[in-house]
Amino acid sequence: MTPTIQSASLHFREGNSDKVYHSAIEPKGEGYLVTFSYGRRGNTLNTGSKTTYPVSLAEATKVFDKLITSKLAKGYQYSSASAGQEKPYQQTGDEGRDSGIRCQLLNPVEPDEVNRLLSSTRYCVQEKHDGRRLMVRKQGDEITGINRRGLVVAIPDAIRDAVEHIPFDVLIDGEAVGDSLHAFDLLEVKGTCLRKRRYIDRFSSLMMVIPPGFDALRWVSTSVDPNDKIEIYEELRITNREGVVFKDMDAPYSPGRPNSGGPQLKFKFVESASFVVTGINTKRSVTLGLYDGDKLVPAGNVTIPPNHPIPQMGTVADVKYLYCFKESGSIYQPVYLGRREDIPASECVVEQLKFKSEPTAAAA
């Protein structure tokens, strides 16, 4: 693990807002980087670097001091975990680099297909966790996080510490929720690629690989028997969880997203989609847009809660909604979930939406 020269952990609490901000000076080659991570407490944090390339220690210290001073001026306070102690994200300086690895993406399934998949002996069922896609690769002493776009990202130290206890090289796929990785696939182990093997075999190997006793790294609960699948489906639905994932147990791992269908399918109990922020309104509201072909079309507005910063124009935002009117293209009862730096604007398309016809007036 790269040693930290200097670090600070800050927090900000006011009303419904509970945010954390961490920064550190870390050696990189013959120089130093000033890295940072931030976000809502308990969520997977956004990460980055204030220095685009390694600089001298004097320059890094100047950047670090200016950054911390600016945060304190905005109301942040030092956390008890500060004063030189290790921050929760240890970065490598390679964040944003293309790893060359691509993950398998899921297509949604229509409601009328759910019963067939639940009764099928070919598909298993897993909970769809409400987090961010994260693959973790261990090669010797180097541990790397990789997001859904294949870019290198920083990972929480809790996840890193758990992966360090695996005594050989691995590549694990999962969903990060806060400081925990809910693992659901094993792509490589001891230098051997498992992608062509059946999913159920890869998952069985994953269960044996993950070390016991770590809340930060766990395999997702999986149901195979149709009766168990129906029971877990109903339990997740009535407890207002995000949804379920159906996986073909005989299928290999296929990077990318099929044009339709595929061996891995998702069904959400509540609708959500990723939108492009096209404007900033008054009273903490932003306008949303989606691509219909090459054209960016309006999709409504959403209010930004006080515990979230207002997203800038051109950024991508996740929004939960009840349904969308097909005639107007506007979402109904939207709830802002947060920014998505791991999703490009080009993926914010109208095909994500679930439509409902607007009522028509009765003839006179």
Q: What is the pLDDT along the chain (364 residues), one digit of tens a residue?
A: 455 678 888 888 766 677 888 888 888 888 888 888 888 776 667 777 888 888 998 898 899 988 988 888 777 888 764 444 444 555 555 556 788 899 999 998 988 899 999 999 999 999 998 888 999 999 998 999 999 888 888 888 889 999 999 999 999 999 998 889 999 999 999 999 999 999 999 999 999 999 988 989 999 999 999 999 999 999 998 888 889 999 999 999 999 988 888 999 999 888 889 999 999 998 889 999 999 988 999 999 999 988 788 999 999 999 988 778 777 778 888 999 888 888 889 899 998 887 765 444 433 3
Predicted TM-score (pTM) above 0.85: no
Separation in Å, CA 319 to CA 10, 133, 358: 28, 17, 21
Helix (H, G, I), strand (E, B) or coil at 190: coil
Every domain of the chain and the residues it spans:
6-90, 107-268, 271-356
Fold of 107-268: D-amino Acid Aminotransferase; Chain A, domain 1 (3.30.470)
Contact at 8 Å (CB) between 304 and 288? no
**H-helix segments, the chain:** 57-73, 114-119, 157-164, 199-209, 226-238
Give domain 6-90's CATH architecture. Answer: Single Sheet (2.20)
Per CATH, is 271-356 categorized as 2.40.50.140? yes
- Contact by Cβ (8 Å): 40, 67: no
In whole angstroms, what is the distance from residue 53 CA to residue 29 CA? Answer: 10
- Computed over its alpha carbons, how large is the radius of gyration of the chain? 22
Classify residue 348 as left (phi > 0), alpha (psi -120 to 50) or beta. beta
